[in-house]
């Protein structure tokens, strides 16, 4: 019986395609403190990381705040949306 060859790069490519990003967008409504608190609570950032992401969002208009599978990110997106933040999964 012939052994089926499996290319490890094929598996890596599949994993990269499954990896998504949770993107937070800038708005004129929420305060820095609220955004930082949400990133700590929902995305499990430490306070410094959350503050840095908030600054990136403020100056660049958006920031990737978490990566993972769609199923991992969807509940976080829902919580952040319920908190009136603008987020997407890309």
**Mean pLDDT score, 8-24:** 72
Tokens found for residue 73: 């990110």
Mean pLDDT of the chain: 89
Please tell me the pTM assigned to this model.
0.81
Three-state secondary structure string covering 14-48: HHHHHCEEEEEECCCCCCHHHHHHHHHHHHCCCHH
User: Does the pLDDT at position 19 exceed 60?
Assistant: yes
Show the tokens assigned to 11: 């598996």
- Classify burial at 76, counting beta carbons within 10 Å of its beta carbon; exposed 0-12, middle 13-18, buried 19 or more: buried
**Whether the Cβ atoms of residue 22 and residue 89 lie closer than 8 Å to each other:** yes
């Amino acid at each position: 019986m012939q052994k089926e060859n499996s290319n490890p790069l094929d598996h890596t490519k599949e994993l990269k395609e499954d990896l998504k990003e949770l993107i937070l967008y800038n708005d004129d409504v929420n305060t820095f403190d609220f955004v930082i608190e949400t990133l700590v609570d929902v995305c499990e950032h430490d306070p410094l990381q959350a503050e840095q992401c908030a600054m990136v969002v403020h100056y660049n208009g958006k920031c990737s705040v978490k990566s993972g599978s769609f199923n991992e990110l969807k509940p976080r997106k829902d919580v952040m949306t319920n908190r009136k933040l603008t987020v997407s999964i890309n």
